[in-house]
Amino acid sequence: MTTVGILYPGFSAEDDYPRAERLLGDGTRLPLVHTLMREDAHRVDALLDVGSEDVLADGAQSLAASDGPLDAIVWACTSGSFVFGWDGAQAQVAALREVAGVPATSTSFAFVEACRALGIRSVVVGATYPADVAERFVEFLGKAGITVLAMTPRGIVTAAEVGTLTEDVVLDFAAAVDRPDADAILLPDTALHTVELLDRLDERVGKPVLTANQVSVWQGLRLAGDTTPRPGLGALFR
């Protein structure tokens, strides 16, 4: 049985992970610890604090103490990883790996690996964040050789508000940001509920839609050595 530990900042769409466990349907465990969020704000200074080394170390230690051995661990926060830049995000993951003693990643790197696995080279980004934060994700993807054809920010400041967006809003947002020349659509916020919408998102736009909680689970499983194809979780898992 594979166990992938999830470090999740604050409270917004953490219920996507037990939903993912159910949809995986094979006994995979995704134990989750809420990491410290002193301020819920999609603002650079607040995000640097959310993803700080001491916060993640405390979360990893809490996870190990409460849920036993892990096969991998994921910092399930996109903005709290890409805001550090490519090198800073790598250092963040390296520190987490050292504390946890298992393979580690963050959602930002999971997006890159998901694009590579599907042969995706050009994307559009539908970001719930303010524009200045979203631009840092565009820069991060550029470091990986992924071309962002367009980025549409919604300008939502708090993760809590993002977590209240309805299914119809998420589906409409993905359709609104699409471009015919894009290989895929990326929805980068782990505060966005998407796990139960993945097939519907792909069908709505006729191409892969990669979402933050989706890629976090997918890459965590890959790091744990589990590459089994699975239905019901979008093109990425199929």
pTM: 0.97
DSSP H/E element including 184? strand 184-187
Alpha carbon distance 192, 190 (integer Å): 5
Alpha carbon distance 209, 200 (integer Å): 9
Alpha carbon distance 84, 89 (integer Å): 5
Phi, psi of 113 (to 5 degrees): -65, -35
Single out the residue of 193, 223, 171 nearest to residue 19, CA to CA.
Answer: 193
Each of the 238 residues of the chain gets a pLDDT tens digit; together they read 899 999 999 999 999 999 999 999 999 999 999 999 999 999 999 999 999 999 999 999 999 877 679 999 999 999 999 999 999 999 999 999 999 999 999 999 999 999 999 999 999 999 999 999 999 999 999 999 999 999 999 999 999 999 999 999 999 999 999 999 999 999 999 999 999 999 999 999 999 999 999 999 999 999 999 999 999 999 999 9
Q: Are 187 and 170 in contact (CB under 8 A)?
A: yes
Residue 190 three-state SS: coil
**DSSP state at residue 83:** T
Torsion of Cα atoms, 227 then 229 then 235 then 236, to 10°: -10
Write down all domains in the chain, each with its CATH number in brackets. Answer: 4-237 (3.40.50.12500)
Pairing of strands 4-9, 72-75: parallel
Q: Are 3 and 69 in contact (CB under 8 A)?
A: yes
